[in-house]
Amino acid sequence: MLPEIEKLLVLQDRDRKIRTVKQELKLAPLERKELDEKLADAVKKLEAVKLKGKETEVERKKLEVEAQAKRDSIAKFQTQKFQTRKNEEFQALNNEIKRYEGEIQSIEDRELELMDTAEKTRIKIAETDKETQAVKAQVERQIADIAAKVEALGGKLKELETERAGFAGAMDEDLLDTFNRLFANKNEAVVALEHGVCMGCHMTVTTQTVVRVKGNREIVHCEQCGRILYPGE
């Protein structure tokens, strides 16, 4: 194989690795964002359950106050009942007392329901809290892993770029320019020619091109896509 081609293949190998490392580095912030969102969701869920617990408690207290107010009214009616001499008024007070007692009963039924809800919510909060802690621990571990990965990739990238600069420095400038342009535009600059087919664009090249590539004496480009060819088969 032409020595220039060998050098280009080494260069291309480093460039491919550099590209892969850069792609992985680009993913890291996205992975990090996903983890942050996962944790935020878990915290939000916990807050929602805690809020439900608070709301239940507020309603229960409100009902307690309401029931007490009705009990106070009943006590007042009882006193009025024994002060009145009018039968109609006595009867009216009795009706009021009965109505209030019925309302107190409804409030107490609702209070029982709320106590049941509060107990269920208390269990749910404990469960959700445990889940959130687990998610938090997992997310923190994964974030640390990402940070370590980014650091390792950064080191690897530096190493590859130094190596690449060393190889590139020893090459013909025009050839290097051609290579850089092809690699940037076509994803790969140097490809094999196999059975007369360019492995870059998968088109059949002319017989003359095949002969020139096999001759191993010059840099030959695919006439379809412009990539540099080397004998593959």
* Residues that bind Zn ion in the complex, under the rule CB under 5 A: 198, 200-201, 222, 224-225
CA distances from 107 to 53, 75, 114, 209 (A): 19, 18, 10, 95
Token couple for 147: 């940070």
Residue pair 200/225 in contact by the 8 Å Cβ criterion: yes
CB-based contacts of 190, cutoff 8 Å, min separation 6: 5, 8, 9, 12, 179, 182, 227, 228, 229, 230
Comparison of 135 and 182: residue with beta carbon closer to Zn ion: 182
Comparison of 43 and 197: residue with beta carbon closer to Zn ion: 197
Give the shortest CB-178-to-Zn ion separation in angstroms: 14
Where does 55-195 show beta strands of DSSP type E? 190-194
What does the chain come to in residues? 233
Residue pair 25/155 in contact by the 8 Å Cβ criterion: no
Comparison of 35 and 229: residue with beta carbon closer to Zn ion: 229
Q: Going by DSSP bridges, is the β-strand pair 190-194/228-231 parallel, antiparallel, or unpaired? A: parallel
Give the shortest CB-192-to-Zn ion separation in angstroms: 11
For residues 183 and 85, give the distance between their C-alpha atoms in angstroms, rounded to a whole number.
Answer: 109
Comparison of 78 and 206: residue with beta carbon closer to Zn ion: 206
Neighbours of 121 (CB within 10 A): 21
Comparison of 156 and 214: residue with beta carbon closer to Zn ion: 214
Give the shortest CB-203-to-Zn ion separation in angstroms: 5
Give the shortest CB-191-to-Zn ion separation in angstroms: 7
Write down the residue that tokens 């690699």 correspond to.
Answer: 183
Give the shortest CB-213-to-Zn ion separation in angstroms: 11
Token couple for 230: 């080397």
Query: How many angstroms separate the most distant Cα atoms in the chain?
Result: 130
Give the shortest CB-198-to-Zn ion separation in angstroms: 3
Give the shortest CB-187-to-Zn ion separation in angstroms: 12
For residues 225 and 169, give the distance between their C-alpha atoms in angstroms, rounded to a whole number.
Answer: 26
Comparison of 53 and 226: residue with beta carbon closer to Zn ion: 226
Comparison of 25 and 225: residue with beta carbon closer to Zn ion: 225
